[in-house]
């Protein structure tokens, strides 16, 4: 058995060496190895311990093939280890795109399903899982095909199932038409939360993709820039060539302090102050893929926390979170706001709910942990949720309150699959 060094994208928990197996479609079933508990690993783009095995990692990087692509109906069947960026390089030149895309193209199909990811299109597309037509799961007792008509409950448990129901080997996905690799973009500044909500309503009425960057560097002031984008209609479908991923070591210290964040935010505001423009989809969807963002936080790593506050109390909830960050004087180099629609997610443990989502990157400095814990407690009390894909801090009791369906997932969990996240959040309540 191989051994690999694994961490999450944030460097928290810190890197450790794990036993690892590789899965390939027609090779030996990894569950044939006796005893060890397994966890499928995609590209490790999760910000927390959902992507860390409690014992052995099953690497999916050999699951890269496309089984079929119906270019008439926009249906593609791809193996689970292929990245979404690689899929787009195949589909966009043929006039189709994935309806839901995260902020990095490095996420795999398996990882996108297991965390039921959302994107800038939640107002019309909902989550990734809504576009899964069927998939195959490799479980300790064999292979099983799941679709809304066959093994539907297992499908629902697998969408947002955090890799615990087995290893997804391939999935059939519904695409949507697009006739360009280029997008028309526009930006609107907001200087209060009221304006954020007003402008979001305006932009979502016409734009396919909407998201807000938020500047929290001036205590008492929630301001930022809403960005909207829609595919052009010009038939120019050129895609970038495959790029080898470059790996960078962490910088010796974090570049983020309150003064540097303030300067960076001023710069970003200035750069974003131009009018409507035309940008390639890679720039619109995957801006962080152009820099080694996670390495800028230094060897101590960082936290990302993403919360959704229910519609009724979203405004107050977001304000309280910001006040806690200001009070603790924490630098927040990245804050993203997004409205989630009422479109139901198909997964048992899907994160989105109708309301406002706020995602924060916070360097791992003294005090950050306590403040983030307090924020999680506020979110739980408000009836909101924390995104498991980005969590290292929630307690078993908090998880239970936010995700009461966890007991149903536990029933569908393959007893040979486990993650550090699942051990942490279910410890003592099983
Ligand atoms: C820069 C950046 C931006 C992001 N933006 C967004 C965003 O906009 N929206 C959003 O929702 N998320 C976002 N994320 C989080 C990311 O989309 C999820 O964490 C995603 O699940 C990571 O996929 P991965 O392939 O790297 O899987 P990993 O992180 O390796 O694993 C994630 C989970 O998927 C499971 N898994 C992976 N492959 C399989 C498989 N074949 N079978 C069964 N289970 C499997 C793992 O067991 C684990 O539980 C972002 C992450 C980064 C780094």
pLDDT in tens, 42-78: 999 999 999 999 999 999 999 999 999 999 999 999 9
User: What is the distance between the alpha carbons of residues 211 and 172, in angstroms, rounded to a whole number?
Assistant: 28
DSSP 345: P
Q: For residue 430, what pLDDT is reported?
A: 46
Ligand 1 lined by 42 (C-beta under 6 Å): yes
Atom index in ligand 1 nearest the CA of residue 41 equals 30
Ligand 1 lined by 80 (C-beta under 6 Å): yes
- The answer to whether 60 and 78 have CB atoms below 8 angstroms apart is no
Q: Is the pTM of this model over 0.85?
A: yes
388-397 average pLDDT score? 97
160 by Cβ neighbours in 10 Å (0-12 / 13-18 / 19+) ranks as buried
Q: Enumerate the β-bridge partners of residue 3.
A: 19
Ligand 1 center to 236 CA (angstroms): 30
| Across 55-64, 232-241, 336-345, least confident range | 232-241
Taking residue 364's Cβ as centre, other Cβ atoms within 10 Å add up to 18
Ligand 1 lined by 108 (C-beta under 6 Å): yes
Ligand 1 lined by 336 (C-beta under 6 Å): no
Atom index in ligand 1 nearest the CA of residue 389 equals 19
Asked if the model's pLDDT at residue 87 lies above 80, the reply is yes
Q: Which domains occur in the chain, in start order?
A: 66-178 (3.30.465.10), 182-398 (3.40.462.10)
Ligand 1 lined by 288 (C-beta under 6 Å): yes
Asked if the model's pLDDT at residue 428 lies above 90, the reply is no
Ligand 1 center to 81 CA (angstroms): 11
DSSP 114: H
* Nearest one of 187, 217, 183, 215 to 200, comparing CA atoms: 187
Phi first, then psi: what are they for 49, rounded to 5°? -85, 10
Phi first, then psi: what are they for 392, rounded to 5°? -130, 5
Ligand 1 lined by 50 (C-beta under 6 Å): yes
206-233 average pLDDT score? 97
- The answer to whether 7 and 68 have CB atoms below 8 angstroms apart is no
Ligand 1 lined by 46 (C-beta under 6 Å): yes
Ligand 1 center to 244 CA (angstroms): 19
Asked if the model's pLDDT at residue 235 lies above 80, the reply is yes
Give the C-alpha distances (Å, rounded to integers) separating 16 from 30, 39, 42, 50, 367: 21, 15, 17, 15, 24
Supply the mean pLDDT for the chain: 95
Ligand 1 lined by 388 (C-beta under 6 Å): no
User: What is the distance between the alpha carbons of residues 387 and 375, in angstroms, rounded to a whole number?
Assistant: 13
Atom index in ligand 1 nearest the CA of residue 108 equals 25
Ligand 1 atom 40: residue of nearest CA: 110
Ligand 1 lined by 126 (C-beta under 6 Å): no
- The answer to whether 77 and 67 have CB atoms below 8 angstroms apart is yes
The pLDDT tens digits of the residues spanning 282-325 come to: 999 999 998 999 999 999 999 999 999 999 999 999 999 999 99
User: What is the distance between the alpha carbons of residues 385 and 391, in angstroms, rounded to a whole number?
Assistant: 11
Reply yes or no: is the peptide bond before residue 13 cis, omega within 30 of 0. yes
- Looking at the chain, the whole-number percentage of residues with pLDDT higher than 70 is 98
Q: For residue 344, what pLDDT is reported?
A: 95
Ligand 1 atom 7: residue of nearest CA: 102
- The answer to whether 55 and 36 have CB atoms below 8 angstroms apart is yes
Q: For residue 245, what pLDDT is reported?
A: 67
């Amino acid at each position: 058995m191989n051994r690999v060094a694994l961490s999450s994208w944030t460097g928290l928990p810190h890197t450790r060496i794990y036993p690892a197996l590789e899965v390939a479609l027609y090779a030996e079933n990894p569950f044939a190895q006796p005893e060890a508990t397994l966890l499928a690993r995609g590209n490790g783009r999760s910000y927390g311990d959902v992507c860390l095995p409690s014992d052995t990692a099953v690497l999916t990087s050999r699951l890269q093939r496309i089984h079929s692509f119906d270019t008439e109906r926009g249906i593609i069947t791809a193996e689970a280890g292929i990245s979404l960026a690689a899929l787009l390089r195949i589909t966009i030149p043929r006039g189709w795109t994935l309806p839901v895309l995260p902020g990095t193209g490095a996420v795999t199909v398996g990882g996108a399903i297991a965390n039921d990811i959302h994107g800038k299109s939640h107002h019309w597309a909902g989550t990734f899982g809504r576009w899964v037509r069927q998939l195959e799961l490799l479980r300790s007792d064999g292979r099983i095909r799941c679709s809304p008509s066959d093994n539907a409950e297992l499908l629902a448990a697998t969408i947002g199932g955090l890799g615990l129901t087995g290893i997804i080997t391939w999935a059939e996905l519904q695409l949507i038409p697009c006739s360009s690799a280029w997008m028309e973009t526009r930006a609107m500044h907001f200087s209060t939360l009221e304006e954020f909500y007003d402008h979001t309503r305006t932009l979502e009425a016409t734009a396919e993709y909407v998201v807000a960057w938020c500047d929290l560097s001036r205590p008492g002031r929630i301001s930022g820039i809403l960005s909207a984008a829609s595919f052009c209609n010009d038939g120019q479908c050129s895609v970038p060539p495959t790029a080898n991923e470059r790996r960078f070591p962490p910088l010796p210290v974090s570049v983020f302090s309150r003064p540097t964040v303030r300067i960076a935010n001023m710069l970003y505001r200035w750069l974003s102050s131009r009018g409507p423009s035309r940008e390639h989809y890679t720039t619109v969807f995957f801006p962080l893929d152009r820099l080694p963002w996670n390495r800028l936080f230094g060897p101590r790593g960082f936290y990302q926390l993403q919360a959704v506050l229910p519609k009724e109390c979203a405004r107050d909830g977001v304000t309280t979170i910001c006040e806690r960050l200001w009070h603790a004087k924490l630098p927040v180099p990245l804050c993203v706001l997004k409205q989630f629609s009422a479109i139901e997610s198909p997964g048992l443990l899907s994160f989105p709910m109708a309301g406002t989502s706020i995602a924060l990157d916070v360097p791992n400095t003294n005090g950050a942990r306590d403040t983030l814990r307090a924020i999680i407690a506020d979110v739980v009390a408000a009836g909101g949720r924390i995104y498991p894909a980005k969590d290292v801090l929630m307690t078993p009791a908090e998880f239970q309150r936010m995700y009461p369906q966890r007991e149903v997932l536990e029933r569908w969990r393959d007893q040979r699959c486990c993650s550090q996240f699942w051990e942490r959040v279910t410890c003592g309540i099983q």
